[in-house]
């Protein structure tokens, strides 16, 4: 939780240095991201419960079924969010602010939020799988690694790309979270008793 909150605080702090308009635009887009995250967390919560049951039963086949079923639903909904943000993002921005300068700036960075659901879904799903399996140490390590990668990417990208660099670094942080857990997944599955 500390690493997660630190990332959001960093995004806000760096955005604030770019001026009030960018700060406001990022706040609006982060609302899009948080709304999507709450929805996709529902599938992660389902994964927690289902993989926990399979783990308790020592049933690897059931574990795999739970992972596949919840991941398919989560991916489907992530695509829906991306399509929705692409189609209706401009309308949502206009609803959330009446300041034309902020509206224009938010539209410039909207493509990042359109792409994020299909990138973020994997880290959320793997979080649910690892929490349900009580492999929280791996989650902690992945979060810490992603925060360190985020810091390096900010240093590399923001000076040349400004707010686009900030959003790219944020997206790659989500990729890092997913990759670190995906690397541990085969070991997790192998530890579950029962043939596939």
Does 196 fall in a domain? no
Say whether pLDDT at 195 is over 60: no
Q: How many domains does the chain have?
A: 1
Read off the pTM. 0.93
Domain range for 177:
2-190
Q: Report the pLDDT value the prediction gives residue 194, as an integer from 0 to 100.
A: 55
Q: Rounded to an integer, what distance in angstroms lies between the CA atom of residue 48 and that of residue 128? A: 5
Say whether pLDDT at 3 is over 90: no
The first and second tokens of residue 53, run together, are 């049951």
Tell me the pLDDT tens digit for each residue of 21-32: 999 999 999 999
Does 46 fall in a domain? yes
Q: What percent of the chain has a predicted confidence (pLDDT) above 70? A: 98
Say whether pLDDT at 196 is over 50: no
CB 25 within 8 A of CB 166: no
């Amino acid at each position: 939780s500390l690493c997660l909150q630190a990332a959001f605080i960093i995004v806000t702090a760096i955005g604030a240095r770019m001026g009030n308009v960018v700060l406001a635009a990022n706040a609006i887009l982060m609302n899009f991201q948080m709304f999507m995250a709450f929805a996709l967390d529902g599938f992660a919560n389902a994964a927690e419960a289902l993989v926990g049951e399979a783990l308790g039963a020592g049933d690897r086949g059931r574990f795999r079924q739970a992972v596949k079923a919840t991941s398919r639903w989560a991916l489907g909904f992530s695509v829906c969010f991306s399509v929705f943000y692409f189609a209706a993002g401009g309308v949502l921005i206009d609803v959330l602010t009446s300041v034309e300068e902020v509206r224009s700036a938010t539209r410039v960075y909207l493509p990042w939020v359109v792409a994020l659901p299909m990138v973020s879904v994997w880290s959320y799903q793997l979080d649910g799988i690892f929490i349900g399996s009580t492999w929280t140490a791996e989650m902690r390590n992945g979060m810490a690694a992603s925060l360190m990668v985020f810091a390096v990417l900010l240093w590399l990208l923001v000076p040349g790309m400004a707010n686009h660099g900030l959003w790219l670094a944020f997206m790659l942080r989500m990729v890092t979270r997913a990759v670190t857990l995906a690397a541990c997944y085969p070991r997790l599955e192998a530890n579950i008793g029962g043939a596939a």
